[in-house]
C-alpha cells in the first residue's frame, strides 16, 4: 500500500490531500488533478479576482441580471437553501440595501421571477442569471473551502481512488473510504475519536482549526481540533454543507441550525452561542480590508470585461467556437463566457468527460461536438479558439483558416519548427486575425517592462535569465493502456516538446520581443531524473540561446522541485528588471547608473539585500505612496483575459494581433532547436527561415 501526501496553497490557506492506494503514479496523477480542481474553484469563487464569476457579479452590482454558469447557479441555489434553513444565519451577501433602494426600484422587471428569498435579500436569482443590489457583494468564503473539497473529492473518486483524506486549512475535512483495518479516518470530537468515513467535518472559525498535522493519521494518531474559544462542529455527507453550517451554528439560533444538520443526516456539537458581531459583519470587514490591498490595476490585472461600462461599444459579440475543453480550454471558456466581446456558440472535444465538464461552465445552452471539422461545417462562427493539445494546434489552425475564420490559438503555436514554417505560410494567405496566446504580450506588466528597456532604462539589453519550477508528475488520471498516450500526451516526444515547448516558448517569445530578433543558436542539457515512469520527455532542462550581438537567454525548468518558482530577469549594463511569476516587476539599478527623475516618486521593495523600484504599469506619475499591489499567483491568470480581449479588439478594429503567427513560430523554432541540442548534445544553429 502506497501513501502520498500533496499540498497546495489556495483560498488563503493550505489544502492537503493524503492518498492511499497500490500505485504511487496513479495516486499522484489523481492528486495533482484534484489540486488543479481546487485551484479552478478558487478562480470561480474568489471575490477578489475580476476574472472570477463572483468578481464579475460583484462588479455588476446594481446593473441588472448577470448570466452565470450552471455550476455557480447550482452552488448559489444551495447557498440560498442553507440561508433559508438556518434562519439567515448563513448568508453569502455583504453590504446592505439603502433606505431608498428596494427590489421594486432596482429589479422590478426581474422580481417576478426571482427565487423565494427573505425580504432583506441582497441578491436574487432569475431564469436568466443573478442580480446583486447596489453597494452589495457576494462572498462565498464561508462555503468555498468545503465546496472545493467536494469537487476535489469528486475528481479523486472519478480517478478510482477509494481511500483519501482532504482538508482545507485544517478547519474543514473530507474523508473518502478509510485506512486499511480502520472503520474510518480518526478525527477527534468532544466525546472521543470519530472514525470519519465518506463524510465531512467542519469546525467553526471560533474553534479555529485542527492543530495536529495529517502525518499523525498515518501513524495511528488522531486528527484533533484544538479550540481557542467558542466552538462548533458539524459533520455532514458533503463538505459544502458542513463548512456553511459550522459557521451558521455560532452566529445563528443553535436549535434552528441543529435541526437543519439533522435533516442532512449529520451531527452538530458545540455551545449555543450568538456572537455580538454577526458573520456577515465580520466578512464585510475582511472584504473591505482585502479590497484595500488588492489594487489590481497597479499590476495590470485586466477585467474579463474588456471595456469599462461607460465605454461599451455597440458591436455585436463575436460568435465563437471552442476546440479543446481540457483543463486549459475550460479556463479560457470560463473567461469567454464572462466577456461581452464573445458569445460562445459551440464547444468541441473528442473526450466526452472533458466536454461534459465544459458544458457546465458554458453558462447557457451551447452546441457540443466531438469532431471539429463537422462543427465548422455545421456552425456559423466569427472566430474559433483552439485549446487542443499542442501537436493538434496546426491542424486546427489550418482548418479554421480554410473556413475563413479569425483564430485565437493557444501557445505554443505548434509542435516543431517545420510545422511552424508551414503555418506562417498559411497565415500569410489569410486576411483574418490570427492571434497566438503568448499572454505576456497582452499583459500590462511585460509591455511596460519592454517599454522601459526600449527607453534605455536598463542600458543595453544583454541577457534574459528565466526559470520555471514545479514538483509535478504531469500525469493525468484516468489513463488506461489503450488511451495512455492520448491522455498523457505531454509526456512523449511524438506529441510534446515538454518543458521547453509548454513553458519555454513563453520565455523565448519574451526574449525575441526584448531583443527584437530570434536566436541564432542553441545548446542545452536535460534528462529524465525524477519521474522514471516510461516517459521520454525530460523532467529537467537547461537551455542556453545565443542572439545577435552576443546577447543570451538562459532558461531552466524542472518538474522535480518547486524552489525558484517562475521568474524572468531582464539584464542590461545599467539595470535589471525582475519579473516575478507574471505578477510583479522590480527595477534594480546599478550603482554607477544615474537615477531618472520619476524614481524619487516610485515605491520600492527590498529583495535579496537589494532595493528594487516597483514598476507600475498604470502610473504616469508616481504620486500614490499608499497603493499596495496584489502579490499573489492569482494575478497572472488575468493575463489570459487580457490576451483574449486583445484578440477581440484586433478583430473589431481590423488591427494586428499583439502576438502574430510569425512571433509564435519564432518561439517554437527556438524551443525545437534547444530540444535538438539536448538530444544531440551539440550546438544547433538556427537558420533565418
pTM for this entry: 0.76
Residue 20 has pLDDT above 80, yes or no: yes
pLDDT at 70: 87
| Termini Cα distance of the chain | 54
pLDDT above 90 (res 626): no
Least confident of 255-264, 473-482, 560-569: 255-264
Cα 562 to Cα 581: distance, rounded to the nearest angstrom: 13
Give the burial string for 248-275 (b: 16+ CB within 10 Å, else e).
bbbbbbbeebbebbeebebbbbbeeeee
Stretch among 70-74, 537-541, 556-560 having the lowest mean pLDDT: 70-74
pLDDT over threshold 90, residue 609? no
Rounded Cα–Cα distance for residues 618 and 588 (Å)? 19
- The torsion defined by the Cα of 286, 603, 645 and 62, in degrees rounded to 10, comes to 30
Q: Residue 654: CB partners within 8 Å, gap ≥ 6?
A: none
Instruction: Look at residue 284 and tell me whether its pLDDT is greater than 50.
Output: no
| Pairing mode, strands 383-386 and 318-323 | parallel
- The whole-angstrom separation of Cα 306 and Cα 617 is 17
- Measured at the CA of 186, the angle between CA 182 and CA 188, to 5 degrees, comes to 155
How does pLDDT run across 139-172, given as a tens digit for each residue? 888 899 999 999 999 999 999 999 999 988 767 8
* CATH class label, 445-656+663-684: alpha beta
Question: Helix 24-45 and helix 327-336: axis angle, to 10°?
Answer: 10
Pull the grid cell for residue 140: 462565498
Average pLDDT, the chain: 79
Residue with cell 451554528: 249
List, in order, residues 6 or more apart from 255 with CB less than 8 Å away.
272
**For residues 252 and 303, what is the distance between their CA atoms, to the nearest angstrom?**
36
* Over residues 487-508, mean pLDDT: 96
What's the rounded Cα separation, in Å, for the pair 301 and 310? 19
Q: What is the pLDDT of residues 509-528, one digit of tens each?
A: 999 999 999 999 999 999 99
More confident residue, 502 or 92: 502
Q: Please report, for the chain, the start and end positions of each structural domain, with discontinuous segments joined by +.
A: 53-69+93-138, 309-439, 445-656+663-684
Examine the pLDDT at 29 and tell me if it is beyond 50: yes
pLDDT, residue 296, reads 22
Extract the runs of DSSP E, i.e. beta strands, from 560-619: 566-572, 575-580, 584-589, 604-607, 610-614
Q: Over the stretch 573-606, which tens digit does the pLDDT of each residue have?
A: 999 999 987 778 888 888 766 566 545 555 666 6
Query: In sequence order, what are the beta bridge partners of 269?
Result: 233
Max CA pair span of the chain: 77
pLDDT digits (tens, 9 = 90+) for 323-355: 999 989 999 998 998 888 999 999 999 999 899
Same fold yes or no, 309-439 and 445-656+663-684: no
Q: How confident is the model at residue 313 (pLDDT cuts 50, 70, 90)?
A: very low
| Lowest mean pLDDT across 289-303, 310-324, 350-364 | 289-303
pLDDT at 99 over 70: no
DSSP 321: E
Read off the pLDDT of residues 53-90 as tens digits, 9 standing for 90 and up: 898 888 888 888 888 888 999 999 999 888 888 877 78
What is the percentage of the chain residues whose pLDDT exceeds 90? 47
pLDDT at 159 (0 to 100)? 92
Q: What is the pLDDT of residue 290?
A: 30
The pLDDT confidence band at residue 261, using thresholds 50, 70 and 90, is low
- Which of 101-110, 177-186, 305-314: highest mean pLDDT? 177-186
Closest CA to 253 of 86, 366, 476: 86
pLDDT at 606: 62
Name the residue among 671, 670, 683, 665 with its Cα closest to residue 497. Answer: 671
Of 337, 291, 315, 292, the C-alpha closest to 641 is 337
**What residues have CB less than 8 Å from 249, skipping those under 6 apart?**
89, 204, 232, 234, 257, 258, 261, 268, 270
Tens-digit pLDDT profile for residues 399-450: 999 999 999 999 999 999 999 999 999 999 999 999 999 999 998 889 988 9
Q: According to the model, what pLDDT value does residue 257 have?
A: 63
Q: What radius of gyration do the chain's Cα atoms show?
A: 26
Q: How far is 274 from 338, CA to CA, in rounded Å?
A: 39
309-439 classified as CATH 3.40.50.720: yes
Give the residues across from 8 on adjacent strands: 15
Amino acid at each position: 500500500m502506497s501513501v502520498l501526501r500533496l499540498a497546495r496553497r489556495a483560498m488563503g490557506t493550505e489544502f492537503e490531500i493524503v492518498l492511499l492506494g497500490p500505485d504511487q503514479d496513479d495516486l499522484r496523477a489523481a492528486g495533482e488533478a484534484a489540486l488543479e480542481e481546487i485551484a479552478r474553484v478558487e478562480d470561480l469563487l474568489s471575490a477578489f479576482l475580476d476574472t472570477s464569476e463572483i468578481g464579475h457579479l460583484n462588479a455588476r452590482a446594481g446593473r441588472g441580471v448577470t448570466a452565470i454558469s450552471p455550476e455557480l447557479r447550482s452552488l448559489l441555489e444551495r447557498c440560498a437553501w442553507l440561508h433559508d434553513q438556518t434562519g439567515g444565519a448563513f448568508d453569502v451577501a455583504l453590504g446592505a440595501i439603502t433606505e431608498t433602494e428596494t427590489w421594486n426600484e432596482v429589479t422590478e422587471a426581474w422580481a417576478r421571477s426571482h427565487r423565494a428569498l427573505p425580504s432583506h435579500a441582497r441578491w436574487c436569482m432569475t431564469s436568466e442569471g443573478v442580480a446583486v443590489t447596489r453597494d452589495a457583494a457576494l462572498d462565498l468564503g464561508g462555503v468555498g473551502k468545503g465546496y472545493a473539497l467536494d469537487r476535489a473529492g469528486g475528481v479523486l473518486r472519478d480517478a478510482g481512488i477509494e481511500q483519501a483524506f482532504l482538508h482545507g486549512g485544517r478547519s474543514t475535512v473530507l474523508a473518502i473510504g478509510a485506512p486499511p483495518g480502520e472503520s474510518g479516518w480518526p478525527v477527534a470530537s468532544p466525546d472521543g475519536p470519530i472514525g470519519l468515513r465518506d463524510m465531512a467535518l467542519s469546525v467553526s472559525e471560533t474553534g479555529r482549526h485542527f492543530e495536529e498535522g495529517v502525518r499523525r493519521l498515518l501513524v495511528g494518531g488522531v486528527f484533533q481540533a484544538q479550540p481557542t474559544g467558542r466552538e462548533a462542529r458539524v459533520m455532514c455527507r458533503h463538505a459544502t454543507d458542513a463548512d456553511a453550517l459550522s459557521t451558521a451554528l455560532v452566529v445563528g439560533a443553535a436549535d434552528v441550525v441543529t435541526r437543519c444538520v439533522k435533516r442532512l443526516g449529520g451531527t452538530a456539537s458545540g455551545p449555543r452561542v450568538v456572537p455580538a458581531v454577526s458573520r456577515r459583519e465580520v466578512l464585510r470587514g475582511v472584504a473591505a480590508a482585502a479590497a484595500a490591498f488588492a489594487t489590481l490595476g497597479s499590476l495590470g490585472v485586466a477585467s474579463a470585461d474588456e471595456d469599462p461600462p461607460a465605454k461599451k461599444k455597440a458591436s455585436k459579440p463575436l460568435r465563437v467556437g471552442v476546440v479543446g475543453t481540457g483543463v486549459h480550454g475550460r479556463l479560457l471558456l470560463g473567461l469567454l463566457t464572462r466577456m461581452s466581446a464573445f458569445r460562445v456558440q459551440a464547444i468541441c472535444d473528442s473526450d466526452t468527460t472533458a466536454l461534459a465538464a465544459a458544458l457546465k461552465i458554458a453558462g447557457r445552452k451551447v452546441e457540443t461536438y466531438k469532431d471539429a471539422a463537422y462543427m465548422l461545417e455545421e456552425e456559423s462562427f466569427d472566430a474559433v479558439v483552439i485549446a487542443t493539445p499542442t501537436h493538434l494546434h496546426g491542424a486546427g489552425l489550418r482548418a479554421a483558416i480554410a473556413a475563413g475564420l479569425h483564430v485565437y490559438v493557444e501557445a505554443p503555436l505548434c509542435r516543431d519548427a517545420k510545422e511552424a514554417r508551414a503555418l506562417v505560410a498559411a497565415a500569410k494567405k489569410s486576411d483574418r486575425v490570427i492571434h497566438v496566446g503568448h499572454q505576456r504580450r497582452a499583459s500590462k506588466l511585460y509591455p511596460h517592462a519592454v517599454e522601459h528597456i526600449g527607453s534605455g532604462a536598463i542600458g543595453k539589453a544583454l541577457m534574459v535569465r528565466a526559470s520555471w519550477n514545479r514538483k509535478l508528475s504531469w500525469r493525468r488520471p484516468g489513463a488506461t493502456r489503450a488511451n495512455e498516450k492520448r491522455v498523457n500526451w505531454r509526456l512523449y516526444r511524438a506529441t510534446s516538446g515538454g518543458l521547453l515547448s509548454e513553458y519555454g516558448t513563453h520565455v523565448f517569445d519574451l526574449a525575441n520581443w526584448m531583443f527584437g530578433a530570434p536566436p541564432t543558436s542553441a545548446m542545452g542539457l536535460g534528462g529524465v531524473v525524477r519521474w522514471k515512469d516510461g516517459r521520454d520527455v525530460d523532467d529537467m532542462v537547461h537551455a542556453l540561446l545565443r542572439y545577435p550581438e552576443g546577447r543570451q537567454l538562459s532558461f531552466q525548468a524542472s518538474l522535480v522541485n518547486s524552489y525558484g518558482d517562475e521568474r524572468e530577469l531582464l539584464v542590461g549594463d545599467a539595470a535589471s528588471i525582475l519579473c516575478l511569476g507574471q505578477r510583479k516587476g522590480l527595477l534594480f539599478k546599478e550603482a554607477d547608473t544615474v537615477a531618472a527623475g520619476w524614481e524619487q516618486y516610485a515605491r520600492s521593495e527590498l529583495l535579496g539585500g537589494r532595493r528594487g523600484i516597483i514598476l507600475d504599469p498604470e502610473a504616469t506619475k508616481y504620486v500614490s505612496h499608499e497603493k499596495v499591489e496584489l502579490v499573489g499567483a492569482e494575478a497572472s491568470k488575468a493575463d489570459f483575459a487580457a490576451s483574449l480581449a486583445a484578440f477581440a479588439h484586433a478583430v473589431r478594429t481590423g488591427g494586428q494581433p499583439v502576438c502574430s503567427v510569425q512571433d509564435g513560430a519564432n518561439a517554437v523554432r527556438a524551443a525545437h532547436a534547444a530540444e535538438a541540442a539536448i538530444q544531440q548534445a551539440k550546438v544547433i544553429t538556427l537558420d533565418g527561415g
